[in-house]
Chains A and B, each alone.
Chain A
Amino acid sequence: AQTVTQSQPEMSVQEAETVTLSCTYDTSESDYYLFWYKQPPSRQMILVIRQEAYKQQNATENRFSVNFQKAAKSFSLKISDSQLGDAAMYFCASGGRKSSGDKLTFGTGTRLAVRP
């Protein structure tokens, strides 16, 4: 069974500053993958970034990057140069390659507010 824990229900950041959202996970899979999804007020789930566990290099997508600590089972999301449009709910998710149907397990989410 997989579990994903997001310990920060809410975070706030000043526009143009940097913020880090935390995520820890637990899995029995030896080969797995991790995601951050963004859910703005429109409710649409949008993929922000993905990381495959066998890759040591941290994933980066423009202003978004992750700090993947495999031994600690930690997968934090860093947002640089925060923009008003980054205000949203952020969900961390994990999935195992061998899991039937490639099912994902989601955390409870972190609501990010961006102050102008």
Chain B
Amino acid sequence: NAGVTQTPKFRVLKTGQSMTLLCAQDMNHEYMYWYRQDPGMGLRLIHYSVGEGTTAKGEVPDGYNVSRLKKQNFLLGLESAAPSQTSVYFCASSPISGGTYEQYFGPGTRLTVT
């Protein structure tokens, strides 16, 4: 069981470039989440998904798009990267309600936009 994996682990982009972060989970979880972590601000929710084919906005969705075409994958896209998007990005997943409500996190992706 790999749990939650994220690709890539590090990336440097130039302003205006685009990229996609991939999150994969092998626990058959219904819910998946993308967070960003910035110094002094904790983790903030960007987008989330309650099932295959569905996505919803979180607290800080601007500048990001997501897709969940397969239950096990949740993609985060940056269409035109900006320096303000320099951050560490975490993906997480959790089973549908009725369980422990724990979220399981991936190892994170450090993104730098110059």
Interface of A toward B, CB cutoff 8 Å: 4, 9, 33, 35, 42-45, 47, 50, 91, 95, 97, 100-104, 106-109
Contacts and interface: CB of A to CB of B under 8 A. Distances in A.
A91 B50 contact: no
Interface of B: 31, 33, 35, 40-45, 48-50, 56, 58, 88, 90, 92, 94, 97, 100-103, 105, 107-108
Given A43-B88, A95-B101, A108 B42 contact: yes
B97 A97 contact: yes
B58 A44 contact: no
By secondary structure, the A interface counts as mixed
A44 B3 CA distance: 12
A50 B101 CA distance: 9
B31 A101 contact: yes
